[in-house]
Structure 1
Amino acid sequence: MIQIVLITVVLLCLVHLVLNYSRTARMLAKIPGPPGLAVIGNSWEVILPPVELFKYGRRMAKEYHGIWRLWCSPISIVNIFSPEDIEIILSNSTFNNKGVIYNFLKPWLGDGLLISGGPKWLQRRKILTPAFHFNILRHFSEVLEENSLRLADKLDAAGDVTGAGDVTADVVPLLSEYTLHSICETAMGTKLDDEQKDEGRVYKEAIHKVGKFMVERFSKVYLFSDNIFNLTSTGKQFHQSVNTVHRFTKRVIKERKDFVKKNGIVMNEKVDQDKNDEEIYMYNRKNKVAMLDLLINAQTDGSIDDKGIQEEVDTFMFEGHDTTATGLVYLLMSLACDKIIQDKVVEELKEIFGDSTRPATMQDLGKMKYIDCCIKESLRLYPPVPFIARILNEEVVLSGYSVPAGTQCNIHIYDLHRRADLFENPSKFDPDRFLPKNNAGRHPYAYIPFSAGPRNCIGN
C-alpha cells in the first residue's frame, strides 16, 4: 500500500514538473491570463453553463488586452482578438489546421470542408468553389425570392394570430425553415414539398439537438474525451440525432443522383448579359447547377467518393441554413430595435421598387447599399460564429509573446468586432460605419465575420 502511494506521489510530481516547468509551460506562463492550479490549470474554472462560459470569455477580454491564455490540462490555449495577431494566424497557410473542438463535429460532418486540412481541404475547396461563382448564384435568385415571399406570408399569419394591437411572433423557427428550404433547393437541388415537411421538421429538430449537445460538451472539459463522452447520456443522444441527420441528407443525395442520371448536368453555362430580366428569369429556371451536382460530377472522374459527398452535403446543409438563419434573426432584431434605421431601409426599397410588387432581381440587390450596410453591421455585433480555432503547428510570436507549437489558438471574432479602438461606440448598431467613406483605413483583419485569409468561409 505504501509503495502504491509513493509511486502515485512520484508520478504526480513528475506530471507537475512537466506541465508547469517545461519550456512550453514557461512560455505560456509569460502570457497574461488567470492563475491556475497545479496539474489541472484552469480546467475547473471554465466548467460553467454555456451562458456563463460565454460571459467568462467576455470578462477575460475586458481584463486582458488583445491576448490571454488558458491551461486546461492537457490543452494549452491562447486567445487573441487583435487584428495584427489575427492576420499572422489567418494569412499563413501553415496554421490551417482547425482546433481540438472541431473534432467534436467529426461523427456528424466527417472530414468535410469545415474540418479537413491540407491537400484534402484544398481539393474539396477547388471542387466546390465554382458553385459559388456569381453566374451560378444568379440562377437561384428567383428561388430565394419565392421562399422570401412565403416567409413574409408566414410572418403575417403568425402576427394575425395575436389579434389587434402589438403583435409578436417567434421568428427563429420561421427563419430556420426558410433557410433550410432555400439551401435544399439551391445547393442541393431538392425541393421540400408538402409530403416532406415532417421529414424536414425532424431534421431541424435533430440539428437543434446536435447543437445543444455540442455546446454542452464544449462547456465541460471532462467531456472532451471521446471515450468519456460516448458513455454519457448526452453522447448517446448526440449520436442518435446525428443518425437522424444522416438519414435526411442521404435521401437528398439519392434524389439528386436520380435526377442527374435522368436529366444530366448543365455545366459551365453562362447567361447572356444582353437578355432582359424576364428572359434571364426564364433561363435561370431551366438551368440550375446545384452545388451537389458539382460533387456528383467530380465523382465520375474519381475526385470524390460517396463518403466525401455525404461529408460535404452534411457540412453545407448545416452551415448553409443554421448560421444564415442565426444571422437573419439578429439582423431583424437589430432593425426592430431602431425605428429610424427601419425607416431608412423602407425608403431605400421605395426608391428601387416604388409601388411595384414585381420580383426582386440581382440588379436590384446592387442598389441596396444601405441594407448591405445593415447586414454587415449586424454581422459585426452578432457574428453567427463568434470564434474560430487553429492549432499552431510551429512556434509563433503574438503580441510580443512567444507561443509554443501545439497550442490551440482561439480567435475571438465577437471581441475583435467590439473593440473601441477599431469601432467607435462599438455596442451601438450603426450601419453608417460601413458606408464607403467610413471604411477607409480600417485594418483588413478588423472585421472578419467569415474568417479571412486562404481558409476564409466559402459561404461569404
Structure 2
Amino acid sequence: MFYILLIIVLSLVLLHLYINYHEDARVIMKVPGLKDRFLIGNALDIFVHPDKLFDLRTSFAKQFKGIYRFYSYPFKTINIYNPEDVEIILSSMKFSEKSYLYLFMKPWLADGLLLSSGAKWQKRRKILTPAFHFDILRQFHVIMEENSKRLTETLEQSAGDTVNITPVITEYTLNTICETAMGTKLSDETSAAGKSYKNALLTLGALLAERFIKVYLFLEFIFNLSSLKQKQQKYIDIIQKFTADVIKNRKAYLEQNGLINSTESNDDGVYKKKKKAAFLDLLLAAENEGKIDRSGIQEEVDTFMFEGHDTTASGISFLFLMLANHPNEQEKVYQEMKSIFGDSTRTATTDDLAQMKYLELCIKETLRLYPPVHFVARVLNEKVTLSNYTIPAGTECLIHIFDLHRREDLYKNALAFEPERFLPENSVGRHPYAYVPFSAGPRNCIGKKFAMMEMKSAMSAVIRRYRLEAITKPEDVRFAGDLILRSINPIYVKTVKRNI
C-alpha cells in the first residue's frame, strides 16, 4: 500500500513539474500573477459565482500594474491594461486572430465578422464597409429620429415616476437596428418575438460567463456532455429563429420591389449604385453574385443584430445614469439643445447632430467609464514582448478596456465624470491607445459612427423634453460577468417633463 501511495505521489509531482515547468510555462511564470496551486495553477482563482466575476477581475487590476498572467495547463493567458501593450496587440493585423474564448460564441455567431479572421474576414469587411458610408448614415438618421420620438413618447407614459431605463432603451435600439441595417420594421406581431430575442440574449450571456469560470468546460468534449450545452442551444435557437425571420422578410420585400444593383466597388471602396444599400441589402446582393451563401448571411446578421443593438443599449443606459447623477453637465447639454433648436420642437437633422459638441463630450466620457465592450481577446500567434516580459506564442491575450480607461495615471480623478477631459486642448499628450471604447486598429468597430449617431439622436430627443433625476447612483452599480457591460440590478431614473 505504501509503495502504491508513493508511486501516486511521485507521479503527481512529475506531472506537476512537466505541466508547470516546461519551457513556455517557465517563461510566462515570470509575469506577475496570482499564487499558483499544485498541479492546477490558477484554475480555482476564477471559480466564483458569475455575478462576482467582474468584481474579481477589477480586484486583479488593482493588485497588479498593467499586466498579469493566468496559467492552468494547458491554458495560458496574459491580461493587459496599459496603452503601450494595447497598441502592440491592436495596431496591426499581426495579432488579429480572436482568442480561444470567442470560440464559446461559435455555435451562435459562427464565422461572422466578430469571430472570423484572415482572408474571410477581409472579404466580409470589404462587403460590409459600404453599409456604414456617410450617405447610408444619412438615410439611417431619419429612422433614428422617428424611433427617438417614439422613445420620448414611451417615457411620457412614466413621466414623474421612477423607471428602469435599460429595457426601454433596449427596445429602442432593437427597433432601430431592425429598421435601419436590416430594413425590417418590428410589427405588433413580431414585437413578442423581439422580446424573446432580447431575453434569450441576456440568458445566453450569463451561460457564457458560467462556462468561462469553469475551466474544465473550456474543453469542448466535456462541455458537449454538460447540461450547459443543452441550455445554450435552446437560447441560440430562439435568437437564430428571430434573425432568420428578419432575413426572410427582407428578402421577400426585395424580391417584390426589386433587388439592388451590382456590388462592384470603385477605387475608393464605395459601391457603385444609384442608391446606396443598407447592411442586409448588401448581403443579399452579394448572395445573388455568389460572394456569400445563406449561412454566411445568417452569421453576419446574428453578429450585427447583437452588436448593433446590445452594445448601444448599454452605452445609452449608462449615459442616462451619468446625466441623471450630474445635473450641471445635464444642464449644459440642455442649453446646447436650446442654442441649436430654440423653442422649436422639430426633429434633429444630421447638421444638428454635428453641432452637439458638449453632448458628444458626455458620450465619450460615459464610454470611458462604461465601455460597452469592456474587454477584447486575441491569440498571440508569435512570441511578443509586453511590459518587458517575453510572452510565448500561443498565449491568449485579454485586453481589459474597462480597467485601462480607469487608470489614474492616464486620467486624473479617473472615477469622476468630467466630459471636458475630451476637449482637444485637454487631450494633448494622451496616448492614442489609452481610450479604445470601439477597439482600435484594423479590427476596430465598423459601426462606430452609427453608434455615435444613435446615442446623440436618442439623448438629444430625451433631454429636450425631460429632466433626468437620479435614483440609482454610480456606486450602486454592480456589473455582470457578461460579454457586454451591463448592471446586475436595474438602472432607475426619474423623468420630469420640461415646460416647452
Instruction: Give ranges in structure 1 of 5+ residues lacking alignment.
Output: 161-166, 270-285
* CA distance in structure 1 between the aligned counterparts of 2:293 and 2:260, rounded to whole angstroms: 21
Residues 139, 288 of structure 1: 8 Å contact kept: no
Which residue in 1 is equivalent to 2:390? 402
403-412 or 199-208, larger mean C-alpha shift: 199-208
Which residue in 2 is equivalent to 1:79? 79
Which residue in 1 is equivalent to 2:164? 170
Listed as ranges, the matches of 1:210-221 within 5 Å are: 210-221=204-215
Is 1:225 matched with 2:219? yes
* CA distance in structure 2 between the aligned counterparts of 1:457 and 1:8, rounded to whole angstroms: 52
Classify the secondary structure of the residue corresponding to 2:407: coil
The code of the aligned residue for 2:151 comes to L
* CA distance in structure 2 between the aligned counterparts of 1:394 and 1:18, rounded to whole angstroms: 22
| % identical equivalent positions | 54
Classify the secondary structure of the residue corresponding to 2:394: coil
- CA shift, 1:454, in A, is 0.9
* CA distance in structure 2 between the aligned counterparts of 1:297 and 1:13, rounded to whole angstroms: 61
Is 1:53 matched with 2:85? no
* Pairing partner for 2:185 from 191, 204, 215: 191
Is 1:234 matched with 2:234? no
Which residue in 2 is equivalent to 1:29? 29
Residues 41, 73 of structure 1: 8 Å contact kept: yes
Residues 262, 285 of structure 2: 8 Å contact kept: no
* CA distance in structure 2 between the aligned counterparts of 1:425 and 1:263, rounded to whole angstroms: 56
Which residue in 1 is equivalent to 2:431? 443
Distance change >3 Å, CA 201–CA 424, structure 1 → 2: same
* CA distance in structure 1 between the aligned counterparts of 2:11 and 2:182, rounded to whole angstroms: 55
* Pairing partner for 1:255 from 239, 249, 253: 249
Classify the secondary structure of the residue corresponding to 1:389: strand
* CA distance in structure 1 between the aligned counterparts of 2:152 and 2:87, rounded to whole angstroms: 40
Which residue in 2 is equivalent to 1:391? 379
Classify the secondary structure of the residue corresponding to 2:157: helix
Which residue in 1 is equivalent to 2:494? none
* CA distance in structure 2 between the aligned counterparts of 1:49 and 1:420, rounded to whole angstroms: 29
* CA distance in structure 2 between the aligned counterparts of 1:3 and 1:456, rounded to whole angstroms: 59
- CA shift, 1:55, in A, is 1.6
Q: Per-residue displacement from partner, 1:35-89 (whole Å, max 9, x unpaired)?
A: 1112210001110122322122212211211111111332101111110011111
* CA distance in structure 2 between the aligned counterparts of 1:378 and 1:355, rounded to whole angstroms: 28
The code of the aligned residue for 2:228 comes to T
Listed as ranges, the matches of 1:421-440 within 5 Å are: 421-440=409-428
Is 1:412 matched with 2:406? no
- CA shift, 1:219, in A, is 2.4
* CA distance in structure 2 between the aligned counterparts of 1:2 and 1:122, rounded to whole angstroms: 62
* CA distance in structure 2 between the aligned counterparts of 1:258 and 1:223, rounded to whole angstroms: 41
* Pairing partner for 1:294 from 272, 282, 285: 282
Classify the secondary structure of the residue corresponding to 1:231: coil
Residues 373, 432 of structure 1: 8 Å contact kept: yes
- CA shift, 1:222, in A, is 2.4
Distance change >3 Å, CA 10–CA 256, structure 1 → 2: farther
* CA distance in structure 1 between the aligned counterparts of 2:220 and 2:186, rounded to whole angstroms: 35
Listed as ranges, the matches of 1:1-12 within 5 Å are: 12=12
Instruction: Give ranges in structure 2 of 5+ residues lacking alignment.
Output: 264-273, 449-500
* CA distance in structure 2 between the aligned counterparts of 1:438 and 1:267, rounded to whole angstroms: 47
Which residue in 2 is equivalent to 1:331? 319
* CA distance in structure 2 between the aligned counterparts of 1:356 and 1:338, rounded to whole angstroms: 26
- CA shift, 1:334, in A, is 0.6
- CA shift, 1:93, in A, is 1.0
Which residue in 2 is equivalent to 1:179? 173
The code of the aligned residue for 2:103 comes to N
- CA shift, 1:14, in A, is 4.1
Distance change >3 Å, CA 429–CA 340, structure 1 → 2: same
Residues 32, 69 of structure 1: 8 Å contact kept: yes
* Pairing partner for 2:309 from 321, 341, 364: 321
Q: Per-residue displacement from partner, 1:411-440 (whole Å, max 9, x unpaired)?
A: 010111011111110000111011121112
Q: Per-residue displacement from partner, 1:99-128 (whole Å, max 9, x unpaired)?
A: 121011011111100011111111111111
The code of the aligned residue for 1:22 comes to H
- CA shift, 1:5, in A, is 6.7
Residues 377, 429 of structure 1: 8 Å contact kept: yes
Which residue in 2 is equivalent to 1:164? none
Which residue in 1 is equivalent to 2:469? none
Which residue in 1 is equivalent to 2:38? 38
Distance change >3 Å, CA 8–CA 454, structure 1 → 2: farther
Residues 139, 287 of structure 1: 8 Å contact kept: no
Residues 173, 312 of structure 2: 8 Å contact kept: yes
Which residue in 2 is equivalent to 1:93? 93
- CA shift, 1:232, in A, is 3.0
TM-score normalized by the length of structure 2: 0.84
Which residue in 2 is equivalent to 1:282? none
Which residue in 2 is equivalent to 1:150? 150
- CA shift, 1:287, in A, is 5.8
* CA distance in structure 1 between the aligned counterparts of 2:431 and 2:352, rounded to whole angstroms: 30
Which residue in 2 is equivalent to 1:264? 258
* Pairing partner for 1:353 from 338, 341, 366: 341
> Cα RMSD between the aligned structures?
1.9
May I ask how many residue pairs the two structures share in their alignment?
438
